Amino acid sequence: MLKESFLGYLSLERNYSSKTVRSYGIDLTQFESYFRGVDQDLDYTDIDADLIRGWVISLMDEGYTATSVNRKLSSLRSFYHFLLRKQLVSVDPMAKINGPKKKKPLPVFVKEADMNCLLDDTDFGKGFESVRDRTVLEVFYTTGIRLSELIGLDDADVDFSARVIKVTGKRNKQRLVPFGDELEADMQAYLSERNENCPRVCPAFFVRKDGERLYPQLVYRIVKRNLSKVVTLKKKSPHVLRHSFATSMLNHQAELEAVKELLGHESLTTTQVYTHTTFEELKKVYEQAHPRA
């Protein structure tokens, strides 16, 4: 009766859809099957946190993902909040229950060989937009800056004498990112094309033909169109090039703290995800190369 009363409340008082109510009912029935299997005499009002934790473990053992388990726990949490309001239970057994953490997917990145192929061997054509598009890709891959940071770059932020770019990141935090000979030459070539072919209507470093600053959708299109020439990745975004920068740096023995500073991360934990990426690459190389892998 408790379950039916709760489902009726969801339907009549909360106006939940029949599909949603059915999902709640399935979750509660599944939980009931579990605790009846532990003790046939148990009821919903007898449940404690340990029993719920046991259910979570059994679900994970059965192959449910963290997302699915957390959704089921959400159903249970709502149910016990309802019972508390109705004073049908005095203690909420969900109060100390934490669901399983979702496994974060590893960052998608472009391999060095593919980036070299794109930047060194691909014909981008001639003219202002072709030179600009290639320079945009190279800046992303060589500096690891974010999309918003590239769009926000002004001429005054690029110091060719010191070979550094002043980047304004999240919460207006600024950092300096160095660049080398090759990028300097390519940015100078871009500026030559830009200054010859575009009106100067704003201080932006990267502009459109009309001299206005780039906008996010255009940069996405530039990156996606050109990455499609060398990779079949599902994701082809500016952030993939940021991931590629970080992965390449770590693959070439850069210190984690240095990569953190270059990326503008607040915490080293954020940067450490790239160490998992490089380790996964090492595993693939090992499995492909070692005869007894």
Catalytic residues: 146, 170, 239, 242, 265, 274
**Residue 20 burial (CB count, 10 A):** 14
Closest CA to 114 of 226, 219, 255: 226
Distance (Å) of CA 181 to CA 83, 97, 156, 164: 68, 56, 19, 11
Considering only the C-alpha atoms of the chain, give the largest distance between any 2 of them, rounded to a whole number of Å.
Answer: 84
Phi, psi (deg, nearest 5) at residue 96: -110, 20
Report how far residue 31's alpha carbon sits from residue 94's, in angstroms, rounded to the nearest whole number.
13
In whole angstroms, give the CA distance from residue 219 to residue 71: 37
CB distance 207 to 90 below 8 Å: no
CA distance 120 to 138: 10
Q: Which residues of 175-213 are buried (b: 16+ CB within 10 A; e: fewer)?
A: bebebeeebeebbeebbebbeeebeeeeebbbbbeeeeb
How many CA atoms are closer than 13 Å to the CA of 60, on its beta-carbon side? 13
